[in-house]
Structure 1
């Protein structure tokens, strides 16, 4: 520990003892959650951080302290994508402290059980709704809902600086930024803002160490060219069609150069259109079935009744992929949100009934200090009230800038996701040209191959998760916690 660090901690402790500052805003403490009975395994805080004028942007966060050692464990900021999707997607369906079970009746709240694979087992984690207009975040000025990559990154950086002012005891903890899907844009652009702030000696000084991106949008060329090799490799299209596409498109699948190429790509689209784009192994929800499908799932010992081995738990079903424009990569300009793209309030392929019913309940909103719907709006998984512009181009230049500074980066992919296929992520990480320091090999969880990994120089790692779809912690929670824990600890995965 340096002398300056020691003095900072000493001064902080003196101020804390005399009540001149608080270790955490007690008004933000979450004391209970409707649907959950029992004590939380760690403290939870939530609320708003204003980042503009009095009537301007207010970003909502939910903060879960580590169940292990919150004073020393990393602080992780989690971001869902969209653009326009709430990070409560991650909280409810992926790696939050609870598993959610549908209520007994149509009007009853979901039931919450402790999640044995919560990422709060090994880290403090902030779930942020960003930008304003997403989830519970809002603004009194509707012009703030016109935004884009750059503005979102700047606003999220402002949020972080103010958040650390509210929670200064976490300033020395290692800090990481993690997200998935369109957060493949959010994470590197925000990381870049954080690094710029550190270079400019902006206070408070964030102890930024690295970032993770899961199945993330990165580059229109690499993402756009990923689908055809993925479909062929997975046995979804024939050798004959694959060769025809190769011949007609000459390797350019994302921006067809002629009508023959477009025709062959249209045939590819038709042959894979009935699949679940988020996980080609999972069944398809076609809209006429009940939104929540009940399956028999083996219970964790932590909430198993005596003599009970199984209990029905909800599974988030997903619709067929025809609604998704499979070759619509993220390019410069307006990026339509899901509701705007489909001219409806629904997100294709995704059932969000449990999250929607829970987060729109008045008692839940009060418990987590979220404004009423009349102020912040109704909670929806992915909003249509923002207008969002992709204005930062390819993320490869951001990744190169960050990793060249020694910032650690883990790029992970569920290998059965057809929305952002692993083939694109593998290709762009290889294109960085870094030396291979850990040659392609399997990584193991519980003596089983969990996926494959390749390590590069400059602390860049690419990792696949075997059998997983788009949202890795949802499909493979044990494996996700395993690589997350190992990577944060600096251990070999």
Structure 2
């Protein structure tokens, strides 16, 4: 069997480090935020805390984000940075279709007007605070004021996300003590290891500000979010993104990182916990390919292949390796596993964040 490329990791969660922030010699990035108590299409006040905003980087890029506080205990629960794949897929896709607390009432949609939003209890915001960010510029509502003179690349995106985190935590210092994780799916499996390594190196060099990185479908979305009252509710900058797309696969982007195995090994050697999971019905990134590149890490197995359960039912299989690496499959799930099996994936992330075996 041919070895699959390393981007076949669907999710990597990286854990609690202390992250300091360097003083920037250039213009300091800034942030604008907006509390969103209501959304068009949702009946009544939102039953969770939603904030949107832009982090304005000093290179002219404006990264748009959604931040939802944990519905359990925001002061104590972890903070997750969620990166949607692509490159070019909006964070709203992860929010609505995968791990966020609301979804579109597809069955009740009549074909005209604004879609209805419904509350989703099987959300990862039940157990964590989540930042969803549109990255790179040109994705979702993120944009470049310079007219895209610079084509985004892996290394550029890593630097921009690093600055995004520094700036975001400057505005939200109350979350600095919380455990912090980087998470994502699909192509973001390429971005997450070097982003985490950049944070780790900052800690070692003593030039970063404290963040607690833990050491261990889609028609209705376009109808809804292109509605002007929805854009106003979210605080979208007028005239910047004429027509929002869930995924823009034509976005100019340079893919520079061809092998993420060394990045994983470097992080594992430093003692960072990680989890990788795959839907076992994923036709575009089959789980057998994910297993193939995990074998290239050459790590001893500490808990061999076994089923894991929710409500007494087998919902996948899991294996644990040395240096705190966990791999799991989700039974019946496709490429974006939480979209297909939300309850099972919530149980998975809750157990893993709590340090419990699946």
TM-score (norm 1): 0.64
The aligned counterpart of 1:49 is 55
Call closer, same or farther: CA 1:427–1:26 in 2, change over 3 Å. closer
Q: Structure 2 CA distance, aligned partners of 1:144 and 1:452?
A: 46
Q: Structure 2 CA distance, aligned partners of 1:357 and 1:407?
A: 41
Gaps of 5+ in 2: 1-17, 19-30
1:133 aligned residue (110, 134, 138): 138
Q: Structure 2 CA distance, aligned partners of 1:183 and 1:101?
A: 28
Q: Structure 2 CA distance, aligned partners of 1:173 and 1:202?
A: 20
- Does structure 1 residue 352 correspond to structure 2 residue 357? no
SS in 2 for 1:375: coil
- Does structure 1 residue 114 correspond to structure 2 residue 136? no
Q: Please state how far the C-alpha of 1:204 moved relative to its aligned partner.
A: 2.1
Question: Which segment is superposed worse, 407-416 or 93-102?
Answer: 93-102
The aligned counterpart of 1:82 is 86
Q: Which has the higher contact order (CA 8 A, sep 6+)?
A: 2
Q: Structure 2 CA distance, aligned partners of 1:420 and 1:428?
A: 12
2:105 aligned residue (101, 104, 123): 101
Q: Equivalences for 1:55-454 in 2 at 5 Å?
A: 56-102=60-106, 104-144=109-149, 146-209=151-214, 351-372=217-238, 374-384=239-249, 386-454=251-319
Q: Please state how far the C-alpha of 1:201 moved relative to its aligned partner.
A: 2.2
Q: Structure 2 CA distance, aligned partners of 1:410 and 1:104?
A: 37
The aligned counterpart of 2:5 is none
Q: Please state how far the C-alpha of 1:183 moved relative to its aligned partner.
A: 0.9
Q: Structure 2 CA distance, aligned partners of 1:66 and 1:360?
A: 27
Call closer, same or farther: CA 1:456–1:470 in 2, change over 3 Å. same
Q: Please state how far the C-alpha of 1:393 moved relative to its aligned partner.
A: 2.2
Contact 2:154 2:254 in 1 (8 A): yes
Q: Structure 1 CA distance, aligned partners of 2:215 and 2:119?
A: 28
The aligned counterpart of 2:11 is none
Q: Please state how far the C-alpha of 1:466 moved relative to its aligned partner.
A: 1.0
Call closer, same or farther: CA 1:492–1:104 in 2, change over 3 Å. closer
More helix by share: 1
Q: Please state how far the C-alpha of 1:189 moved relative to its aligned partner.
A: 2.3
Q: Please state how far the C-alpha of 1:144 moved relative to its aligned partner.
A: 5.0
Q: Please state how far the C-alpha of 1:385 moved relative to its aligned partner.
A: 5.6
Q: Structure 1 CA distance, aligned partners of 2:315 and 2:109?
A: 35
List per-residue Cα deviations over 1:30-86 (Å, max 9, x = no partner): 121001113323211101001124xx1000000000000000000001111111111
Q: Structure 1 CA distance, aligned partners of 2:122 and 2:299?
A: 33
SS in 1 for 2:178: coil
SS in 2 for 1:398: helix
Contact 1:145 1:385 in 2 (8 A): no
Q: Structure 2 CA distance, aligned partners of 1:463 and 1:125?
A: 22
- Does structure 1 residue 39 correspond to structure 2 residue 45? yes
The aligned counterpart of 1:235 is none
Q: Please state how far the C-alpha of 1:106 moved relative to its aligned partner.
A: 3.0
Question: Which segment is superposed worse, 389-398 or 95-104?
Answer: 95-104
List per-residue Cα deviations over 1:4-24 (Å, max 9, x = no partner): x9xxxxxxxxxxxxxxxxxxx
Q: Please state how far the C-alpha of 1:131 moved relative to its aligned partner.
A: 0.8
The aligned counterpart of 1:473 is 338
Q: Please state how far the C-alpha of 1:467 moved relative to its aligned partner.
A: 1.3
Q: Structure 1 CA distance, aligned partners of 2:289 and 2:89?
A: 22
1:459 aligned residue (312, 315, 324): 324
- Greater Rg by CA: 1
Contact 1:192 1:398 in 2 (8 A): yes
Contact 2:86 2:249 in 1 (8 A): no
Call closer, same or farther: CA 1:104–1:421 in 2, change over 3 Å. closer
TM-score (norm 2): 0.88
